[in-house]
Amino acid sequence: MDNNPDQSMVPSTTSAPLIPDRIIPGLYLSDIQTACAVLSPYYPAPHRPEIKYVLSIIDRPDRTPKVHPEDEWKFVLKFLKLRDVGSDDLLEILGEACEFIRSSMKNNDGGILVHCAKGISRSASVVLAFIMEDMCLDYDTALRYVRQSRSKVKPNPGFEAQLQLWERMEYSIFEADGTTHKEEYNVWKANNEHATKTLAFRILEKGAGGPNKKDGTT
């Protein structure tokens, strides 16, 4: 009989405790292994930050870190779907993500940890968006600020472009009524969808050997 604890709740063995990076007081950023460690009752680090909220920015809900059943009352978990693909709509989730971070910090009952797989692109982009809005910073300044705490932060080029648009739209994809999308977002979304479809068509065409493969022409 295997008496070992659920491995999804046990942090990997490392030479040092898995500690998330503090970006500002109450807001932390990490990879998924560190998030699992923070939620694990077997976490050995005596000086881990007091974290109550965990925001997972990953592609599948089944990949979110697990909480031991006896500890579920200690944490508030939220999942937002996003792949680390530059054409994925980061802007669409930023409002909800930033509001969750903001409300969690206002509760003042524990910090919030934002993570993705590696804590480099997806979750970093969300944290950058929040810092930009909270401190009224442009993208480049926010990036330098966040890298002071986590030097490996590097949004993929598509997310970087979206964060620059986030800045130009003054940190919201909606007009003042809260329901109508801003024209800048509509234009970006239409162009993004067109580019994605064009790329998919070219990939399919290449896989088929080109449009004239059947008749032997080139």
Active site residues: 116
- Of 86, 42, 38, the closest CA to residue 65 belongs to 38
Residue 86 main-chain phi, psi, to 5 deg: -60, -25
Per-residue DSSP letter, 27: E
The C-alpha torsion from 111 through 117 and 121 to 127, rounded to 10°, is: -10
Q: Which tokens sit at 58?
A: 């990953």
End-to-end CA distance of the chain: 63
Q: Which ranges of 40-182 would DSSP assign to H, the alpha helix?
A: 90-107, 122-135, 139-147, 157-168
- Of 64, 14, 78, the closest CA to residue 44 belongs to 14
The answer to whether the beta carbons of residues 128 and 139 sit under 8 Å apart is yes
